[in-house]
Amino acid sequence: MSIDFNADEVFEVAEQIERNGAEFYRNVADKVKEQNKKNLLLDLARMEDEHEKIFKSLRAQLSYDEKIQTTFDPNGESEGYLHALANTRIFYEKKIDTSSYEEILKSAITVEKDSIVFYLGMKEVVPTEVEKQRIDDIIKEEMSHIKLLSKELMELKNNF
């Protein structure tokens, strides 16, 4: 059975992913004692908040046709699948060693990569070039998060 998603559902999931990301960064920032490290994580949380606003704005601009269900789905399976994906695969809750800044960084890099993969797939289902470009912009920003986190990880390893 194939599951089709409309743009409204995809943007809704993207909003949830960004909320989960912001929460992830705020939670791990609470575990870090050094202020500069805490600030980096809180900056990343604020960036995820901005991404959520972008997706919310794009979603609000969708036409009626882009919001209607494209397949018969009386049990809401497609929406349930998307929400499960957002809540379990990307920025999902998992046990990480929050006493280790290195493990926090490694986990953050992994979830940023997962979000990029999701957004690359998302580009295939959004209808307009403007939306595709906005998603490309977010992908680039997520890539910059990986670069920032990787740099921080390398500096941490070089200091040992």
Residue 71 in domain: yes
Residue 94 in domain: yes
Contacts 24+ apart (CB under 8 A), 9-13: 9/78, 9/79, 9/82, 10/82, 10/122, 10/125, 10/126, 11/55, 11/56, 11/58, 11/59, 11/62, 11/126, 12/59, 12/82, 13/82, 13/83, 13/85, 13/86
Residue 114 in domain: yes
Residue 2 in domain: no
Residue 16 in domain: yes
Residue 15 in domain: yes
Residue 1 in domain: no
Residue 28 in domain: yes
Q: Residues 64-98: pLDDT tens digits? A: 766 565 544 556 555 565 555 555 555 555 566 67
Q: pLDDT band at 122, cuts 50/70/90?
A: confident
**What per-residue confidence (pLDDT) applies to 2?**
45
**What per-residue confidence (pLDDT) applies to 48?**
92
Give the domain CATH number at 60.
1.20.1260.10
Mean residue pLDDT across the chain: 80
pLDDT at residue 3 greater than cutoff 50: no
The residue range of the domain holding 116 is 7-158
Residue with the bigger pLDDT between 138 and 94: it is: 138
Specify the number of domains making up the chain.
1
